[in-house]
Amino acid sequence: MGPLSGTLAKFRGRTKESKLLIAMAVPAFAVYSFLYLYPAIQNLAYSFERWDGVTKPEFVGLHNFTYLATNDDLFRKIVGNNIRFTLLVVIFQTAFSLLFATFLLKNTKTTIFLRVIYFFPTILSSVSVGLIWTFLYNPNFGFLNASLKAIGLDNFALNWLGDTKYSLYAIAVTQVWFHTGQMVIIYVAGLQQIPADLYEAAEVDGATRWQQFKNITWPMALPTTAVVVAYTTIQSFRAFDLVYSMTQGGPLNSSDLIVTSIYNTAFSSFKYGYASAQSIVLIVVVLLVTWLQRRTLRIDYGVK
Amino acid sequence: MMLYKATKNILLTAFALAVIVPSSIVVLGSFKKDVEIYTKPLALPKSWSLENFRNLIHTGNVFTPFKNSVIVAVFSVFFTLLFASLAAYAISRMTTVTGRFLFILFSLGLAIPGQVNIIPIYHLFVKLHLTNSLLGLILVNIALTLPISIFILTSFFKDIPKEMYEVAGIDGAGHLRIYRSIALPLSRPAMGATGIFLFVICWNDLLYPLMLITQLDKKTLPLTLIDFRGEFATSYSMLFTAIMVASVPMVVMYIAMQRSFVAGLTAGAVKG
C-alpha cells in the first residue's frame, strides 16, 4: 500500500464512477429525460409541422415561424401585451418590495408581523387570487368601485376587467399584489447583509436618508435586485393562471399573454404545430431577456 | 424626519390593508348570503351561518377534488424529494465528469419553462392513457419540479464537509447507508423547505390539470374553483366558501411552519 496504489485508486475512481452512485441518479434521470427533455425536443420538432392532432403531421419547415413574424398581428399584439405586463410588474414589484424591505429591515414585533401579513398572498393559489380580484374589480358590486364611489370618485369607477383599455393593467396590479410580499422577504434577507457601520458612518457624515439609500442601500443591494428582477421577469413571461381565471385573455385579446395564447392555439384552435412554434418563441424571449438583464446588472456591479 | 415617518407608516398600513381587506371579504363572505356580500362585503355576517359550507358538501363537488389535490400533492412531493435527493447525493459525490454532466443536464430544465411542454406532454399522455389520471398529474409534477429540487439539494449536499462522509466511509459504509444515515438527516431543514415549496406548486397548479383532466371525479381544487366561476356566475358566497376550503391546508401549514414556509418559498425563487 504505497503512495502509488493510492494514486492508482484515485485514478481509477476518476475514470470509473461507482455503479451504485450512477444507479442512485437513475430514477430522477429516467423521469426527467422521458417527461421533460424528450417532450422539449418533440416540441421543437412540432414547431416545424402543421398538425391538427388528428391527421398526419405535415412538415412545413420554418413556415410557422415566418408566419408568426410577418403575418400574425394577433400574436404580435400578444407579445406586446406580455412585454408591457412584464415591464409594469417588474418595475412596480421591485420598487415596492425594495421600499417595504427598507422599512421592515429591523427585526421588531411590528416588522415581523407586517412581513407575515405581506407574505400571506404568496401561499394562496393563483386561481383563488384571480377569482378574489375578479370580485373586487366587478363593475356593479365590486369592492373597488364601491369604495371609489363612497369617497366621491364616481368617475374612476371603471369596468376594470371588461374594458380593453384597463384589463391588462388590472391583472398586472393583481400580480404585483400577489408576489410583492415574497420579494420583500428576499430583499430583507439581502439588505440585512449590509454592514450596519456603513450607515453609522454615513449618519456621522450627516448624510440624508435619500443619500444613504442612493450611496449604500442601492449599490449594496444590486445582487439581490438582480435576483428579484430575474425571477419576476421569468414569472411574468410564464403567467397564465391569473389571466385564465380573470379574463381568459379578453376582452378582444387585450389581456392575452404568450402562455394563454399557446394554450388557446393548441387546445381551442387545434393548431398544435403553430402553438409549439409560439412556445419556442417564448423560450427564446425568456433566454434573451434574462441574458440581457444579467449583462446590464453585471456592468452595474463593475461600475459600483 | 416627521414627514418620512408619516409616509412610511401610511405606505406600510396601506399595503397591509390591501392584503387584509380582500382576505377578510373572503372569510366573512363564506358565512354570508350573496346579497349581503354585494351590499356589505366588509361587515360582520348577520349570523355566523355554516349554510354555505353545508351546501358545498351537499352539492358534493368539493370533497373529491380536495382528496384528489391531497393525493397529487403528497405523492408528487414525496417522489420528487426521494428522486431528487438520491440524484443530488450521487452528483455531489461523483468524482468523474459524469457528475458535472448530470448537473448541467438537470439545470437545462431551469432554462426551459415547463409550460412550453404542454403540447407534447398532452399527446404523449393521450397515447399512454394518462389523461384523466391522478398518476399522470403526479408524473408531470415530478418531472417539472425535479430540476429545481436537484439544483437546491445538490448545492446543499456539496456544502456538507467531506470529513463527515469519510468517517462513515472508513467504517465500510456504502453510499446507500451514507445517504440514509448522514446525508438525509443533515439535510432535513433543506428537504423540509424544498418540500413545502413543492407542495405549494403542486397544490396550486392549474395549467396541467386544465389540459389533462376533464372528468369530474379526477378534478383538483384549482379546476373546481374555475368551474365555480361558470356554474355560479353570481354566487360569490359559494365561491368564497370553496376558496376557504382550498386555502385552509396552506394557511394551517403557514401558521404552523412559518419559518420553513418562508424559507422554502424564497429559496425556490432565489435558486430558480
- Asked if B121 reaches chain A (Cβ–Cβ under 8 Å), the answer is yes
**Residue B65 contacts by C-beta under 8 Å, 6 or more apart in sequence?**
B219, B220, B221, B223, B224
Report which DSSP code applies to B28.
H
Note whether B89 contacts A121, CB cutoff 8 Å.
no
Report which DSSP code applies to A27.
H
pLDDT value at position B126?
Answer: 95
Spatial CA neighbour of B143 closest among B163, B161, B117: B117
Ranges of H-type helices in A50-72: 63-70
> Chain-centre distance of CA B186, in angstroms?
23
Each residue's pLDDT tens digit, B123-159: 999 999 999 999 999 999 999 999 999 999 998 898 8
Ranges of H-type helices in chain B: 2-29, 34-39, 51-59, 63-93, 97-111, 118-127, 134-159, 162-170, 175-178, 184-186, 188-204, 207-212, 221-231, 236-256, 258-271
**C-alpha to C-alpha distances, A275 to A40, A56, A68, A265, B272, nearest whole angstrom:** 13, 17, 10, 5, 25
The domain spans of chain B are 64-217+251-271
pLDDT value at position A24?
Answer: 95
Q: What b/e sequence results for B225-234 when a residue is b if at least 16 CB atoms lie within 10 Å of its CB, and e otherwise? A: bbebbeeeee
* B102 pLDDT more than 90: yes
Each residue's pLDDT tens digit, A226-284: 889 988 999 999 999 999 999 999 899 999 999 999 999 999 999 999 999 999 999 99
Rounded to a whole number of angstroms, the distance from the CA of B216 to the nearest CA of chain A is 18
Rounded Cα gap, residues B113 and B272, in angstroms? 11
Each residue's pLDDT tens digit, A91-137: 999 999 999 999 999 999 999 999 999 999 999 999 999 999 999 99
Residues in chain A: 304
- Asked if B252 reaches chain A (Cβ–Cβ under 8 Å), the answer is no
For the domain made up of A75-129+159-303, give the CATH fold.
MetI-like fold (1.10.3720)
- With beta carbons under 8 A apart, name residues in chain A contacting B209: none
The domain spans of chain A are 75-129+159-303
- Asked if A131 reaches chain B (Cβ–Cβ under 8 Å), the answer is yes
Residue A3: pLDDT band (50, 70, 90) is very low
Find the CB nearest A262 among B20, B118, B258.
B118
- Among all residues of chain A, which has the CA nearest to that of B224? A127
- With beta carbons under 8 A apart, name residues in chain B contacting A119: 262, 265
Each residue's pLDDT tens digit, B66-81: 999 999 999 999 999 9
Q: Which of A35, A235, A288 to mutate to test the interface with B (most CBs of B within 10 A)?
A: A35
Mean pLDDT of chain B: 89
Q: Which of A14, A15, A21 to mutate to test the interface with B (most CBs of B within 10 A)?
A: A21
Note whether B119 contacts A182, CB cutoff 8 Å.
no
Mean pLDDT of chain A: 90
Note whether A135 contacts B23, CB cutoff 8 Å.
no
Find the CB nearest A125 among B15, B84, B203.
B203
Place of cell 381551442: A268
| Lowest-confidence pick of A28-32, A162-166, A183-187, B183-187 | B183-187
- With beta carbons under 8 A apart, name residues in chain A contacting B94: 17-18, 21
Note whether B139 contacts A31, CB cutoff 8 Å.
yes
- Among all residues of chain B, which has the CA nearest to that of A24? B86
- Asked if A237 reaches chain B (Cβ–Cβ under 8 Å), the answer is yes
CA angle B259, A224, A297 (to 5 degrees): 160
| Lowest-confidence pick of A188-197, B60-69, B100-109, B259-268 | B259-268
Per CATH, domain B64-217+251-271 is 1.10.3720.10: yes
Secondary structure string (H, E, C) spanning A170-224: HHHHHHHHHHHHHHHHHHHHHHCCCCHHHHHHHHHCCCCHHHHHHHHHHHHCHHH
Rounded to a whole number of angstroms, the distance from the CA of B56 to the nearest CA of chain A is 16
Rounded to a whole number of angstroms, the distance from the CA of B208 to the nearest CA of chain A is 10
Rounded to a whole number of angstroms, the distance from the CA of A283 to the nearest CA of chain B is 6
Q: Report which of residues B61 and B219 the model is more confident about.
A: B219
Spatial CA neighbour of B69 closest among B242, B235, B186: B242
What H or E segment, with its residue span, contains residue A297?
A: helix A272-303
